[in-house]
Amino acid sequence: MNILLLASHAVAEYDDVRMFHDLGYGIFAPGGYENPATSGEGIRPALPQVPYHADLAAACREQRERYGEPGPYIDWAKARLHPDVIEWADVIIVHHFPRPWVIEQWPNIAHKRVIWRTCGQSDPSLEWDMARLRPYLQVVRYSPAERRGFGDVFAGEDALIRFGKYPDDYGPWIGDHIAVGNVTQRMVERGDACGYRFWQAATAGLPVAPAGPGSEAIGGIGELAYPAMLDYLRHLRAYLYTGTRPASYTLGLIEAMLSGVPVVSIGARAWGDEWGGADLFEAASSSVRDMRSIVAEDACFDDPRDANRALRVLLEYPDKAANISRNQRARAVALFGIDTIGAQWKAFLG
């Protein structure tokens, strides 16, 4: 079975291209891993074990030359799929930009098995639009919170399969960098969409070492290459997760938990209503307790002052931090480990 993966996120592409190849599927992902032997946009390692489809890559270049690059649709090779690429695919899995990549070219791909794989970027209007393609379009959800959060406009689901990662890539946790960290992207500029005010209040008076582009503005160490990021997480004593709206959870949270960094999370009520409300936020406990939150409820706080106190405990008592580390990593492996996620995809795809 050949899978065409349409995504715009090198971290997600790295995980999925690697996983689908290991599961025995043919895989082609226009963009960062179009040639798997090269690094995915410099953010994740190359995947030289994955076959390079030179003919499909040439067809993608043809579309970009014809329509322009990058253009208003991020990548014309995905927004106007070449007939040869469509013909090669048995299954088309779309993560991002479903309007231009699914809806606007539906007449050209409707004869294929098309799967919208949600990734935390949906909204009520998109749910409504995608529902019009059902049942011909299949939907694989990344979080059960979407079912709850979108209510009457929920476009349905054919499967719930979370993001998958390889646990052995992360850890073992050391925790000797006595600081509160976070891997973020331009938190100050993005404001409460990345929990900026909560971060400032919850880390007041504490040593901090956030990482990622723009983290220097909040006392951080800047962008890190992938090996350095893994090392950063291994040594970090505590991690404050502040969410990225509207995502129910993020890949960064998974990587922190798999690395063993004890995580304290912003609470669902503090996460707010503007981006879909507490019901859409799965990382922390919600007022609607019909599912277990990803981060243990006793590590989730609506009041940043409570989060500050919890972080102080982690910084001052390494034995308590180590106990939380073990429990959270076990939780992350159970939810996101590639053995679990790969088996779910295998069962769904057939």
Nearest to 63 by CA among 43, 91, 45, 86: 86
Q: Where in the chain do CATH 3.40.50.11930 domains reside?
A: 2-165+338-349
Q: Where in the chain do CATH 3.40.50.2000 domains reside?
A: 167-335
Residues making up the chain, counted from first to last:
350
d(CA 328, CA 335): 11
- Cα 243 from chain centroid? 11
d(CA 334, CA 8): 27
Nearest to 172 by CA among 232, 233, 234, 227: 234
pTM metric for this prediction: 0.94
Q: Which of 241-255, 282-296, 329-343 has the lowest mean pLDDT?
A: 282-296
Architecture of domain 2-165+338-349: 3-Layer(aba) Sandwich (3.40)
Report pLDDT digits (tens) over 244-276: 988 999 999 999 999 999 999 999 888 877 656
Mean pLDDT of 305-334: 96
Report pLDDT digits (tens) over 17-57: 999 999 999 999 999 899 999 876 778 999 999 999 999 99
- Classify domain 167-335 at the CATH topology level: Rossmann fold (3.40.50)
Dihedrals phi, psi of 247, to nearest 5 degrees: -65, 135
Is omega for the bond preceding 70 within 30 degrees of 0, making it cis? yes
d(CA 6, CA 299): 35
Q: Strands 2-6, 26-28: parallel, antiparallel or unpaired by DSSP? A: parallel
Report pLDDT digits (tens) over 88-139: 999 999 999 999 999 999 999 999 999 999 999 999 999 999 999 999 999 9
